[in-house]
């Protein structure tokens, strides 16, 4: 899909046809937005700008040197925009191309930052005199959305902390959830660092109007605070993870303690039962006396009970029970 935003009579109009390009001047076009474009649309935009637009593979390039570069006529920048999923965040590559004062964006999916800005663009056209101002507004909205994501992460971390403090459902699944939350936090942080790198490159560029310098500085300050917040969230998750592991270990130690105590309780009776189970003449009662079998059984059971009692007294004195 193609959207062309151009100035006319103090307003910003929009066209969605590549056939409109021959009627337009490059100076009048503020923003060209390409969403999963057809080949004809992309070629028409490249012919209008006089330069090639980066492919999806170039937009997804992870090397920092390939994510921002300039030529004599244009600025090329690539960054990722996060989209929240049911369990994890997904990164969507977005490519920016600025020729003179005209911004061109290339993406594969609809993004909230772009949709909201397109509404504002037509309502307040004076706030967006050039493609650079549109670019700065996109970055501004993206940083705001990243801040919202970090705030949501912080709330979810607080819920996990409450669950741990209340000792509710502390098991392996909780550890997996915390691990996934750590992964989400790192993805958000990586995304914010990518914006920081992009804005820093823009501030060093001689093509960017100096009127945007203060705005970009404010964005860098916002990003710095977001990075501090993500670091705090990650440290808090590590603390919660250690706490959960400690609680699980304590629970397992309690189980092992019970098993050890039961084993120790049964060891003396087992020894006595094994001793008197031998097929030999045994002491205490002669087999020739009347009711010898009954008294043998009573004495052996008594010895077993006495041994258990002695073990219990010993454990109580050692404060092991």
Q: State the pLDDT at residue 287.
A: 53
Which tokens sit at 91? 């990164």
Lowest mean pLDDT among 11-15, 35-39, 311-315: 311-315
The reply to whether 288 and 199 lie within a common domain is no
Same domain, yes or no: 232 and 272: no
Q: 239 and 278 in one domain?
A: no
User: Residue 297 pLDDT more than 80?
Assistant: no
Residue 80 has pLDDT above 80, yes or no: yes
CATH code: domain of residue 86: 3.30.460.20
Please determine, for residue 62, whether its predicted confidence score (pLDDT) is greater than 60.
no
Which uninterrupted H or E stretch holds 3? strand 2-8
Its pTM stands at 0.72
Average pLDDT, the chain: 79
The CATH number that applies at residue 282 is: 1.20.58
Same domain, 164 and 34: yes
The predicted pLDDT at position 105 comes to: 86
DSSP string, 14-31: EE--GGGGGG--TTTEEE
* Six-digit token string for 197: 């790198």
Q: How far apart are CA 14 and CA 125, in angstroms?
A: 12
CA dist 1 and 12 (Å) reads: 19
Domain boundary residue among 227, 249, 271?
Answer: 249
In a shared domain, residues 226 and 264? no
Q: Are residues 200 and 290 in the same domain?
A: no
Please indicate, yes or no, whether residues 135 and 110 belong to a single structural domain of this protein: yes
Choice between 275 and 211, residue whose per-residue pLDDT is larger = 211
Q: For residue range 239-264, what is the model confidence (pLDDT) as tens digits?
A: 888 888 888 888 888 788 777 777 77
Instruction: Indicate the pLDDT class of residue 19, thresholds 50, 70 and 90.
Output: confident
Res. 15 pLDDT band, cuts 50 70 90:
confident
Q: Are residues 241 and 260 in the same domain?
A: no
Q: Which of 249, 276, 308 is the last residue of a domain?
A: 249
Of 8 and 55, the one with more pLDDT: 8
Neighbours of 88 (CB within 10 A): 11
Residues 44 and 186 both lie in one domain: yes
Are 178 and 299 in a shared domain? no
Mean pLDDT over residues 35-59, rounded?
78
207 and 271 part of one domain: no
Cβ contacts of 164 within 8 Å, gap of 6 or more: 170, 174, 240, 243, 244, 247
- Domain count for the chain, please give it: 2
The most confident of the ranges 94-103, 168-177, 301-310 is 94-103
For the chain, what percent of residues have pLDDT higher than 90? 0
Q: Could you tell me the strand order of the sheet in which 29-35 lies?
A: 11-15, 2-8, 29-35, 102-107, 89-99, 74-84, 68-70
The string of pLDDT tens digits covering residues 189-228 is: 888 888 888 888 888 888 888 888 888 889 888 888 888 8
Residue span of the structural domain in which 57 resides: 2-249
- Asked if residue 195 and residue 81 are part of one domain, the reply reads yes
Please report where in the chains the tokens 């998750």 appear, as a residue.
Answer: 237
Choose one of 215, 249, 283: the last residue of a domain: 249
């Amino acid at each position: 899909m193609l959207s062309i935003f151009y100035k006319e009579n103090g307003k910003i109009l929009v066209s969605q046809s590549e056939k409109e390009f021959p009627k337009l001047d490059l100076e009048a076009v503020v923003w060209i937005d390409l969403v999963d474009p057809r080949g004809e649309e992309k070629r028409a935009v490249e012919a209008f700008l006089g330069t090639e637009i980066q492919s999806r593979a170039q937009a997804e390039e992870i090397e920092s040197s390939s994510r921002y570069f300039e030529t004599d006529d244009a600025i090329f920048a690539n960054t990722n925009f996060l989209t929240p999923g049911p369990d994890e965040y997904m990164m969507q590559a977005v490519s920016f191309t600025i020729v003179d004062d005209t911004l061109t964006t290339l993406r594969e999916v609809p993004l909230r930052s772009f949709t909201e800005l397109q509404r504002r663009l037509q309502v307040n056209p004076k706030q967006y005199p050039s493609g650079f101002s549109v670019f700065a507004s996109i970055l501004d909205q993206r940083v705001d959305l990243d801040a919202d994501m970090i705030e949501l992460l912080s709330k979810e971390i607080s819920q996990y902390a409450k669950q741990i403090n209340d000792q509710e459902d502390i098991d392996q699944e909780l550890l997996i959830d915390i691990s996934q939350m750590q992964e989400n936090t790192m993805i958000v942080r990586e995304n914010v660092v990518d914006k920081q790198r992009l804005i820093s490159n823009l501030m060093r560029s001689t093509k960017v109007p100096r009127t945007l310098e203060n705005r970009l500085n404010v964005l860098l300050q916002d990003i710095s605070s977001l990075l501090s917040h993500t670091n705090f969230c990650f440290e808090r998750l590590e603390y919660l993870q250690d706490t959960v592991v400690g609680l699980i270990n304590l629970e397992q130690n309690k189980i092992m303690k019970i098993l050890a105590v039961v084993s120790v309780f049964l060891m003396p009776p087992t020894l006595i039962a094994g001793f008197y189970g031998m097929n030999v003449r045994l002491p205490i009662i002669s087999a020739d006396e009347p009711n010898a079998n009954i008294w043998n059984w009573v004495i052996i059971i008594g010895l077993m009970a006495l041994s258990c009692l002695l073990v219990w007294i010993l454990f109580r004195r050692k404060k092991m029970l």
